[in-house]
Homo-oligomer: A and B are copies of this chain.
Amino acid sequence: MTTLTPTELHQIHGFWRACNYLAAGMIYLQDNPLLREPLKPEHIKNRLLGHWGTSPGLSFIYTHLNRVINKFDLNAIYLAGPGHGAPGVLAPVYLEGSYSEIYTDKSEDLEGMRAFFRQFSFPGGIGSHCTPETPGSIHEGGELGYSISHAYGTVLDTPDLISVVVVGDGEAETGPLATAWHSNKFLDPRRDGVVLPILHLNGYKINNPTILARIGHQELESLLEGYGYTPYFVEGDDYDTMHEAMATTLDRCIEDIHALQARARLEGNLDRPMYPAIVFRSPKGWTGPKSLDGHQIEGSWRSHQVPLKAVKHDPDQLHMLVDWLKSYYPEELFDEEGKLRSEFRSLAPQGTKRMGSNPHANGGLLRKSLHLPDFRQYGVDVQVPGTIEVSNTYPLGVLMRDIIKANPHNFRLFGPDETASNQLQAVYEATKKVWWGSYLPADADGSEMALDGRVMEMLSEHTLEGWLEGYLLTGRHGLLSTYEAFVHVIDSMFNQHAKWLEISRKLSWRAEVASLNLLITSTVWRQDHNGFTHQDPGFLDLVANKSMEVVRIYLPPDVNCLLTIADRCFRRTDRINVIVSDKQPHLQYLTMDAAIAHCNKGIGMWEWASTDLGVEPDLVITCAGDVPTQEALAATAILHQAFPDLKIRFINVVDLLALQPPLEYPNGLSDRDFDSLFTIDKPIIFNFHGYPWLIHRLAYRRTNHVNLHVRGYKEKGNINTPLELAMNNQIDRFTLAIDAIDRVPKLQVAGAHTKEQLKNRQIECRQYAYAHGTDLPEVVNWRWKNLD
């Protein structure tokens, strides 16, 4: 008794043959798509690009999933981990009809197939990864290593979804992938769907075998068991045997998954499920040319890219290509018009059950706006600016607590073991941290863990970012908070997501997804017990390289600004919002109304801290970031006390990129407004949170750039008190005041004595820190006093 009837086997093998035909066609053919006339060199593309090697395996799996989706009426999506796997995905997506519905010129006929082939890896066409242009894809695979974490993100809060993720054995060597297997400890079988990982051992990378293909069966089985899965092996190269093995195994896996779900959902058995995983070992470049010039192609790294490279000019290779293409018997597969015959096409599910049309893979379609409480209710009551201290991030936690309450299936908070450390612990009043590892009695005492928590903590920024991206791309909302220095761990993931969004925004059929919100905290200026390794504000430089359509950088100086910004970030779509805010207590400056007005502008004057009302200032003091704002204000106070007649204009920057002109950034300050705010010829002292050069880069086009003097972090740190660290990097109040004296013409003589005093004060502060391990109390307890 076999799993597949002969008819099913015929159907499956036919669908797969059609996939392989299309994959090869995409790589080679610009015309004569079904070989209805003899293949000639002019039918071959001028440049042969694309990767054959991984494609047959990818489409083999896709084909088989079609059968089980129908059999079990599954809600399933497909993530292709291997790089350059697009031909193996585009082919079945085209054959099932999803492709032509979106791209009507790539219709299911000869002409459409020609266009479909031609566009592949062709200027103005589509790439060889599963880019946003690929229907059914939420995972491009351009950079390797994120397939599993993406897949786990998709199934959170979607109890009926099965995300099948094909893991390339190349990408399986990456760190992010290697730890993402542990995502299964964060899945609630009652509430979440299931990820079915299929480790595709095709054995080779570009030029090397893969580790997991060469460690032997026992080690690999142990590894997957150690990761917490029940591994099944489908291995071989004989078509019929492999079809039967795959069908049997997939049936078994789906039955396992349903049984484990029933165990939790119906029986209330809350043991952590050991979900199935499949090891699928098939030859690289399967069904392709066996060898060339005495070198093995199929089953070797030589089939990684284009197996026959000289077909356009070498008649022998052209002949081999014809043999190869005809080995799939295209005339049996496609009808006169060039459409897949219905006997094969009926393998594909219908409508949105097709993996290329499943709305979970175009998550904006499913996105529901968050129910957001009025953020103004969570603000700080500021009577006098700069006189009370509050942790800037704590109230954001309170806001998110209520967001979680109001959106019980639609929002999650992510962080690498730092939610409480980052002062967001109020969320635990609404939900806990999800945990499906074992529990100990001591956990009852304040561990904040639960099986159904909505806070996700794992010490892997990669996994968190991957989960969040998967969650967002399937239509939900979230925020990731992480330490500033270590957000660099996910630099490359940030880049890839920004690129994904930028392309997606240009595709009318891709619905808008919620923005990816990154809260960068535990910042460079408060590292008294972490030291030099934890001091790096350079993520902002990276962010500013990406498309200004997609990225935002916010540096709220206080709670009310942070809340205003957060509310905005939770509402906007298709962006990456980077919010920098320290977790420790900081002075509060703006009333809620003032904060809203300030954030709307992005860059604005603080009149209460300025002494130039109604007149042209002598000096502009500008700041961005919480600690730099405090020091800039303290410098302003020092200058005002020493030189009561000095006209100082105080400006704060919240929306950092608005320093650019509107041509570069939608919310950018016009040249006219910039000149009016920053003057065209007065000295500007800019105290910045990050590396100082970023400000020059954003403002170099402005009229008064020549007078712009920027202070920021410049790699001068160790175990320092806050003031000492500020002094080392010259963002402290004393240095800023000295900078001002040096730059305002009328102070250059008059200010000599004050400068001397300030320098002595710096020495005194440093000596105190070295003697006591803390800063001078009067510096620590400094408060703003309204200017007379």
Contacts and interface: CB of A to CB of B under 8 A. Distances in A.
Q: Which of A418, A439, A445, A536 has the most CB of B within 10 A?
A: A536
Contact of A219 (B228, B503, B545): B228
B121 A445 contact: no
Contacts of A36: none
The oligomer's copy count stands at 2
Interface size class of A (residues with CB under 8 A): 35 or more
For A125, A145, A486, A491, the residue with the greatest tally of chain B CB atoms inside 10 Å of its CB is: A491
A171 B459 contact: yes
A772 interface: yes
A211 B185 contact: yes
Contact of A437 (B47, B211, B694): B211
A461 B301 CA distance: 20
Contact of A209 (B296, B437, B531, B696): B437
Nearest to A713: B545
A140 B491 contact: no
Given A123-B724, A462-B175, A533-B140, A208 B417 contact: yes
A489 B173 CA distance: 14
Interface string A168-179: 001101111111
Contact of A772 (B46, B295, B421, B448): B46
Contacts of A536: 495, 545
A499 B532 contact: yes
A7 interface: no
Contacts of A140: 533
Contact of A128 (B437, B448, B531, B705): B531
Interface stretch (A101-109, A245-253, A604-612, A715-723): A715-723
A327 interface: no
A528 B306 CA distance: 14
B491 A123 contact: no
A322 interface: no
A2 interface: no
Q: Is the interface of A mostly helix, strand, loop or mixed?
A: loop
A126 interface: yes
Nearest to A498: B715
A219 B211 contact: no
A175 B173 contact: no
A522 to B, nearest CB: 11
A45 interface: yes
A47 B773 CA distance: 7
A663 to B, nearest CB: 13
A693 interface: yes
A774 B458 contact: no
Interface string A43-73: 0011101100000000000000000000000
User: Which 3 A-B residue pairings sit nearest by Cβ, starting from the closest?
Assistant: A223-B226, A142-B533, A214-B437
20 contacts: A45-B773, A123-B719, A124-B719, A129-B531, A131-B531, A143-B489, A179-B179, A206-B417, A206-B418, A206-B420, A207-B417, A207-B418, A208-B433, A211-B437, A215-B437, A295-B445, A503-B718, A541-B541, A547-B715, A697-B697
